[in-house]
Amino acid sequence: MNRISAVAFNTFREAVRDHVLYNLIFFALLLVGAALLFGQISIGIQRIVLVNLGLTAISVFGVVIAIFIGIGLVSKEMEKKTLYTILSRPVRRWEFIVGKFGGLAWTLVVNTLCMAIGFFAALLLLARHFERADSWLVVAIYFIILEFVVVTALALLFSTFSSPVLSAVMALALFVIGTFAEDLRAFAAMSHGATRVFATLAAYVVPNFASLNVISSVAHGQPIAASLILYNTVYSMFYAAAALCGAILVFEYRNLK
Amino acid sequence: MPAIETFALEKSYSIGFWRKRRVAGLKPLNLSVEAGEVFGYLGPNGAGKTTTLKLLMGLIFPSGGSARILGMEIADPRMKSLIGFLPEQPYFYDYLTAAELLEYYAQLSGVPGRERTRRVEQMLARVGMSQSARTQLRKLSKGMLQRVGIAQAILHDPKVVFLDEPMSGLDPLGRREVRDLIQTLKDEGKTVFFSTHILSDAEALCDRVAILHRGELRGVGAVDELTARTQSRIEILFHGLEGITLLSALGAECHATGETVQAIIAESRQDEALDALRRQGARLISLTPVRATLEDYFIERLGEKTGKVEVAR
């Protein structure tokens, strides 16, 4: 556990010193500025627009960071040979993978929390007070964090066997397709024969990011069912764990250059 | 119990578009290094030295055979806490300071928390990096990075230290410091296994050496025993430039300074050379045996095409 936490902390430290988290300052300032700009529109629409804009920005920023740091987590270490002095120590390969995952996930959680503070500050500036319905915003942010966990695990998996460019393309493609997972399932239900089989398989293999996207609902103050919170938590943990196991399996037998 | 043992350890690679052609990076290697030895692993570039080290470190997997370090299989993670490794041209996390890097490695090596800071400070002082402890690695020179590299290899007090080309890229002062450090490690009872293509360093430091060429072991043994088997040579100093042609025809290397000629020739052709000079009327100045160096042995072994391994007991 000590070794895993050491790798995780070092990964977090690398992200911080690479100025990844400085984007949150930019984001926070952008939101506050946007909130002031919305003063021109009526109150009800202002809130909807700010929630949509704010949460979508948190999601997009985070996914971009998850992919572009995640794809290099292992491949960069192999290319730069920094792994030589790590794996010659009593660090098991799976500990290294789990530590890397933990470090980036931690980075994204910190990033998200800081951006969430900026978001809620902008909301407060706009509406002057919080409403009961604003509590569902916390659930939406939680779902965004779950989204990052899955994307990080996928990017890490690709990083163990693919080049950074290809890993980025695959991770981004899976994210986009996963956002339309519900539509894919609907298409599979309407299809026949081999198309139905392949479409169904694809619909269940790609991560269901559509289920994690409740931004539109919370923007209109709609509550989120407890069953959905439970389902998304279990699903995301299971999916991330599966991707992580894949990454460990690949890396366990990888010859380093 | 030997510190390092390999049993037909080999590595081959599949190349080509369909990956059907096999190329041997390391042919079956049987090697034994005793505890407390300084062992030199020699060979030209591309011989397979780094491949061997990577196999022993578990960075790549063997195509065949096995190896043990301190009696434990190389896949055993317990063994890793007893060894240290400095790769060739080491790369480190350049956003970390020297102290942070060593702290991180100490934690990975299982050094207890209380002792970690003290050990890091001690190591930095030992390699002369105390002043630069808080400097980011990206700002350090190559020589300083090499010192940090050595520090991380011995930080956790390993029993066996593996160094891949430790003098690579260092100035004469840096090389001297590394040589002194290797000697100190030996005095501490550690086993040092280092690869190099600088033969003078190996000759000065090593108890035994092994010579690798094109993935194949060509010779192993103590330096003086190996060089004793090299063809002996004689240095003939004489007056008379006319002798150069005669001796060159006998395979001698000749260098003239004024009227004085220095000729190095195989001992087996000594009598022929002296007869030729006598007939020419050259004036003989001196006749001196030339001590064979490790370089002579190295070149001789590399020139041979056979798979025979010469072992000096």
A71 and chain B in contact, CB less than 8 A = no
All residues of chain A having their beta carbon less than 8 Å from the beta carbon of residue B77 are 90-92
All residues of chain A having their beta carbon less than 8 Å from the beta carbon of residue B92 are 82, 85
User: Do residue B59 and residue A88 have CB atoms under 8 angstroms apart?
Assistant: yes
Residue A101 burial (CB count, 10 A): 27
Q: Which of B108, B138, B139 to mutate to test the interface with A (most CBs of A within 10 A)?
A: B108
Sorted by where each begins, the domain ranges of chain A are 2-252
A232 pLDDT more than 80: yes
B75 and chain A in contact, CB less than 8 A = no
pLDDT of residue A61: 84
Mean predicted confidence (pLDDT) in A95-124: 91
pLDDT of residue A43: 61
| Closest Cα in chain A to B153 | A85
The C-alpha angle with vertex A251 and arms to B73 and B41, in degrees rounded to 5, equals: 45
Question: Which distant-in-sequence residues (6+ apart) come within 8 Å of B305 by Cβ?
Answer: none
pLDDT of residue A237: 96
pLDDT of residue B248: 87
User: Do residue B57 and residue A87 have CB atoms under 8 angstroms apart?
Assistant: yes
B152 and chain A in contact, CB less than 8 A = yes
Sorted by where each begins, the domain ranges of chain B are 4-228, 233-291
pLDDT of residue B56: 96
User: Do residue B61 and residue A90 have CB atoms under 8 angstroms apart?
Assistant: no
All residues of chain B having their beta carbon less than 8 Å from the beta carbon of residue A92 are 77
B57 and chain A in contact, CB less than 8 A = yes
pLDDT of residue B313: 52
A84 and chain B in contact, CB less than 8 A = yes
Model confidence at A44, pLDDT cuts 50, 70, 90, reads: low
Model confidence at A49, pLDDT cuts 50, 70, 90, reads: confident
pLDDT of residue B197: 79
**Distance in angstroms (rounded) separating the CA atoms of residues A256 and A70:** 19
Cβ–Cβ pairs < 8 A, chains A and B: 75
3 state SS of A162: coil
User: Do residue A255 and residue B59 have CB atoms under 8 angstroms apart?
Assistant: yes
Shortest distance between the Cα of A149 and any Cα of chain B, in A, equals 25
Conformational region of residue A51, where left means phi above 0, alpha means psi within -120 to 50, and beta covers everything else: alpha
All residues of chain A having their beta carbon less than 8 Å from the beta carbon of residue B104 are 6, 10
Q: Could you tell me the pTM of the whole model?
A: 0.85
A233-250, pLDDT tens digit by residue?
Answer: 999 999 999 999 999 999
B61 and chain A in contact, CB less than 8 A = yes
Query: What fold, for B4-228?
Result: Rossmann fold (3.40.50)
Token pair recorded at residue B254: 């000749």
B15 and chain A in contact, CB less than 8 A = no
Q: What is the pLDDT along chain B (313 residues), one digit of tens a residue?
A: 899 999 999 999 888 777 778 888 899 999 999 999 999 999 888 889 999 999 999 999 999 999 999 999 998 888 999 999 999 888 899 899 999 999 999 999 999 888 999 999 999 998 888 988 999 999 988 888 888 999 999 999 999 999 999 988 788 888 888 888 899 999 999 999 999 878 888 888 899 999 998 889 988 988 777 766 666 788 889 998 888 888 888 888 888 888 898 888 888 888 888 888 888 888 889 888 877 667 777 776 776 655 556 666 5
All residues of chain B having their beta carbon less than 8 Å from the beta carbon of residue A251 are none
pLDDT of residue B37: 93
Model confidence at A103, pLDDT cuts 50, 70, 90, reads: very high
B107 and chain A in contact, CB less than 8 A = yes
What one-character DSSP code corresponds to residue B44? -
Q: Is the dihedral of CA B194, B41, B56, A246 positive or negative?
A: positive
Superfamily covering domain B233-291 = ACT domain (3.30.70.260)
pLDDT of residue B153: 95
Model confidence at A34, pLDDT cuts 50, 70, 90, reads: confident
User: Do residue A255 and residue B91 have CB atoms under 8 angstroms apart?
Assistant: no
Say if CB A125 and CB A39 are below 8 A apart.
no
pLDDT of residue B232: 74
Model confidence at A40, pLDDT cuts 50, 70, 90, reads: low
| Closest Cα in chain A to B75 | A92
pLDDT of residue B70: 94
User: Do residue A90 and residue B58 have CB atoms under 8 angstroms apart?
Assistant: no
**Distance in angstroms (rounded) separating the CA atoms of residues A136 and A222:** 8
A76 and chain B in contact, CB less than 8 A = no
**Distance in angstroms (rounded) separating the CA atoms of residues A166 and A173:** 10
| Closest Cα in chain A to B81 | A90
pLDDT of residue B307: 55
DSSP assignment of A88-150, as one string? TSS--HHHHHHHHHHHHHHHHHHHHHHHHHHHHHHHHHHHSS--GGGHHHHHHHHHHHHHHHH
User: Do residue B108 and residue A87 have CB atoms under 8 angstroms apart?
Assistant: no
pLDDT of residue B65: 94
pLDDT of residue B15: 80
